[in-house]
Amino acid sequence: MREKKDILFFILGGFFISNALVAEFIGVKIFSLEKTIGILPFEINLFGIENLSFNFTAGVLLWPIVFVMTDIINEYFGKKGVRLISYTTAILIAYAYVMIYFSMNLAPSDFWIFRETSFGKINMDVAFNTIFSQGNWIIIGSLVAFLIGQIVDVTVFRYLRKITGSSKIWFRATGSTLVSQLIDSFVVLFIAFYIGSGWSFNQVIAIAIVNYIYKFFIAILMTPLLYLIHNMIDKFLGKELANQMVEEAMEK
């Protein structure tokens, strides 16, 4: 019994941390959702900010999975389990950024600097540093938003769990994700760009709303995945152990 619990926590935690780390680093790429799916930009106007469209960091591909994993860990291991994974992840992300900073300051080998590609000659050292360098405020904003989002998610999840009991996992999981994503969208932009880059408050609010529209629909679409993972875990643990862990997580 103890072995199955440990294996489950190890797998969920490892997948959680991996997705969070990858999301941080692929987040340097900004993509157009409209162009990706082959439609014209929406050109939304909000709070005096014109021609807004659905442009996101590539990290939005993975953050919804992180929040689903948060709810799954919360369901079986409670607030204590989520906190352990969240704080560990934040420390590892910060550690990764420190290691990247040192790697950027290593002297490049001469033969590696320039590379001929189909797009012409590329300075690999400049490309490496450009891709992996992020402003300090972006890093701080991302980490703070991540931690606040996790705390809000687990709190709302547990509140809704008291209302729904063991039923309606979609309601507490999706509901907690929608609330935490709303706060996360605003916090990261406020710290990274309002404080760090001098954006206007209206610009932060407008872009946060556009980002949240995307996150709202993705959270809804992720509901079947939540049930799939939940069923897989119940089969792995067995119904009796699964129910016991869920009840213990709630009591804690």
Could you read off the pLDDT of 204-246 as tens digits, one per residue?
899 999 988 888 888 888 888 888 998 999 999 888 888 888 8
Q: Which residue has the higher pLDDT, 90 or 136?
A: 90
Give the model's pLDDT for residue 170: 79
Distance CA 81, CA 252 (A): 10
Averaged pLDDT for residues 77-101: 92
Q: What is the DSSP string of the chain?
A: -HHHHHHHHHHHHHHHHHHHHHHHHHTT-EEEHHHHHT-----EEETTEEEE--EEEGGGGTHHHHHHHHHHHHHHHHHHHHHHHHHHHHHHHHHHHHHHHHHHTSPPPHHHHEEEETTEEEEHHHHHHHHH---HHHHHHHHHHHHHHHHHHHHHHHHHHHHHTTS-HHHHHHHHHHHHHHHHHHHHHIIIIIITS---HHHHHHHHHHHHHHHHHHHHHTHHHHHHHHHHHHHHH-HHHHHHHHHHHHH-
- pTM value? 0.86
pLDDT value of residue 103: 93
Query: Which pLDDT band, with edges at 50, 70 and 90, does 252 fall under?
Result: low
pLDDT at 108: 92
- Residue 89 pLDDT class (50, 70, 90 cuts): very high
What pLDDT shows up at residue 119? 81
Residue 244 is predicted with a pLDDT of 87
pLDDT at 130: 87
CA nearest neighbour of 157 among 179, 135, 187, 184 = 179
pLDDT at 51 over 80: yes
Asked if residue 91 has pLDDT above 90, the reply is: yes
Selected residue with higher pLDDT from 1 and 191: 191
The mean predicted confidence, pLDDT, of the chain is: 88
pLDDT at residue number 1: 64
Is the pLDDT score of 110 beyond 80?
Answer: yes
Q: Which residue has the higher pLDDT, 44 or 167?
A: 44
